[in-house]
Amino acid sequence: MAANGVTHALCVSVNLETFPAVLAIAEGFPNIFASAGVHPDDQSGEEPDIDRLVGLADHRKVVAIGETGLDYYRVEGDTEWQRERFRTHIRAARRTGKPLIIHTREAAADTLRIMREEFAAEVGGVMHCFTETAEVARQAMKMNFMISFSGIVTFKNATALKDVAREVPLESMLIETDSPYLAPIPFRGKTNQPAYVRFVAEEIARLKGISTQAVAEATSANFFRLFKGAAGFKG
């Protein structure tokens, strides 16, 4: 990360079983933060309730709730449990005052509807690894959500997503890797790592016709503005 000019990272929780390992990484490095949550694809682990999430989030390095959301691509059959779990996360976020990390795949309409019904705008957050349309981005931004782009935006065939990246204002944008998945070009197909977020920044800069430095400065400032708990560790 240091060699690539990447100064801070958020290590995102995907289930409760591995949460202690996520927290240990955040505790071990001043520039790494953690979130608390259970991914919509996780069907084997402990199901969190609001109190459980609020309890886990009560830590100085836990700066967000998630990742949560809806994923109708990977899960077959009745998906009501996903929507219930998503509501639980939004309620926990509102109780803690910490922002949400939201994953959505083939479920944009339900995701936005539940965000609205549960008043997710109160805490805001980020639509992570964004692959939806500009209209979905606009609706999320209206609810105080930032749009986060991953290595997908560097892929040659991701023309629609490149257009979305051109449209999303710099002040509402974050960049990420989604490690260990989705390594950006020139590492596509390899194991991803936080240091490679540099290549996402370079592609955003190219798309917007601005410097990589401008993208880096804006997304860093956005990170600390959104994840307020991280601001105290800025130095």
| Binding positions for Zn ion, rule: CB under 5 A | 103
Q: Per the structure block, which two tokens stand in for 23?
A: 């927290």
Q: Distance from first CA to last CA of the chain, Å, rounded?
A: 16
Cβ at position 71, least distance to Zn ion in Å: 8
Nearest approach, Cβ of residue 129 and Zn ion (Å): 5
CB nearer Zn ion, residue 110 or residue 212:
110
Minimum CB separation from Zn ion for residue 217, in Å? 26
Distance of closest approach, residue 209 Cβ to Zn ion, in angstroms = 29
Task: Give the SS3 label for residue 81.
Answer: helix
Which CB sits closer to Zn ion, 75 or 211?
75
- Do 110 and 83 touch, CB atoms closer than 8 A? yes
Residue 96 or 177: the one with the smaller Cβ distance to Zn ion is 177
Residue of minimal Cβ distance to Zn ion: 103
Measured from the CB atom, is 2 or 149 closer to Zn ion? 149
Running DSSP on this structure, what letter comes out for residue 132?
A: S
Q: How far is CA 41 from CA 20, 95, 125, in A?
A: 19, 24, 20
3-state class percentages of the chain: helix first, strand second, coil last, to nearest 5: 50, 15, 35
CA 121 centroid distance within chain = 15
